[in-house]
Amino acid sequence: MSNRLDKTREEKLNPKRMQYAKYQFMARNIPIIDFDKYSIWIQYKCEKIRLYVYSGWFTGKGIKDGRGIENLLKQLK
């Protein structure tokens, strides 16, 4: 049985994507509530939004779920 994710690639790219996401949120004065190895929680209109940095998937109240940090940033304008 093969694993869906390439764990080696994920571990290599996660830190870079995490750094990029944090920079984008800070540049737009979007509060970062919390983060772990795989995701970042931000606050938007008093609601929590979660971004999974490797896959780019985001979800939360007040936004339409989707994929890609650029698409999330468009919704947060």
Q: What is the 3-state secondary structure (H, E, C) of 22-73?
A: HHHHHHCCCCEEEECCCEEEEEECCEEEEEECCCCEEEECCCCCEECHHHHH
pLDDT, position 1: 43
pTM: 0.86
Which pLDDT value is given to residue 67?
A: 96
pLDDT in tens, 3-26: 567 888 888 889 999 999 999 999
Checking if the pLDDT of 51 tops 60, the result is yes
